[in-house]
Amino acid sequence: QFVLTQPPSVSGAPGQTVTISCTGSSSNTGAGYDVHWYQQVPGTAPKLVIYRNSNRPSGVPDRFSGSKSGTSASLAITGLHTEDEADYYCQSYDSRLSSSVFGGGTKLTVL
Amino acid sequence: QVQLQESGPGLVKPSETLSLNCTVSDDAIAGDYYWSWIRQPPGKGLEWIASISHSRSTYYNPTLKNRPTISIDTTKNQVSLRLRSVTAADTAIYFCARRSRVPASWFDPWGQGTLVTVSS
């Protein structure tokens, strides 16, 4: 259903590192369009944590990092904190749909 | 930091038209940005609906089949969304957000969102 594919869930213990993947196709991520990442704590609006594949907005801890290669992108969170528990969404642009597109979201559980 | 606030009726009947407003703070609406609507059905993912610039250039999600209309009123600092012929599948939290001129860019910031339920 979603143009960008994310794993439904990931988990990690405090202090560990987790990685969330986002896979697209030749009309979006594979066409060179940037990937952006959002954190959404339940009951709140999404918050931008990574833009243009690997850039952090002001105020986002450097524990958050992003990368992109080919049709796939990844969000890594190192040194997990309990407050990192949230849903994470990737977003890009699809030239075939002429639309901004999102992944289905990944629920991060901090054990 | 610009702030966005969505408003509108929380309940709409099937087949009717959903109407929402997004008020943008500090006269920022006249800036070189696109103002967007994005929705999220309860417990599900995000879907981009439409974007508009201060000069009224518009983009729409083609999967919504010409049902949405986005408009802007710079004198009121408001961006509006109308969605025709709603069904239960349109029940969602509706967010407004800012995007740069580039269609492939990110959305930031976002409003807090407003829940719209479609039910008779």
Per-residue pLDDT tens digits for B21-38: 999 997 788 888 999 999
B106 with A36: Cβ contact below 8 A:
yes
| DSSP element (H, E) containing B113 | none
Contacts of A46 in chain B (CB under 8 A): 46, 95, 107, 110
Q: CA of B81: how far to CAs of A72, B66, B70, B95, in Å?
A: 33, 13, 5, 11
pLDDT of B65 over the 80 cut: yes
Q: Is residue B62 less than 8 Å (CB to CB) from chain A?
A: yes
Percentage of chain B modeled with pLDDT above 90: 84
B104 with A33: Cβ contact below 8 A:
yes
Q: State the smallest CA–CA distance between residue A45 and chain B in angstroms.
A: 5
Query: Which pLDDT score is estimated for A39?
Result: 98
Q: Quick one: tokens of B116?
A: 């719209």
**Separation of alpha carbons A65 and A74, rounded Å:** 8
A45 with B104: Cβ contact below 8 A:
no
**Separation of alpha carbons B110 and B60, rounded Å:** 18
Q: CA of B14: how far to CAs of A82, B1, B18, B89, in Å?
A: 41, 37, 10, 10
**Separation of alpha carbons B72 and B10, rounded Å:** 21
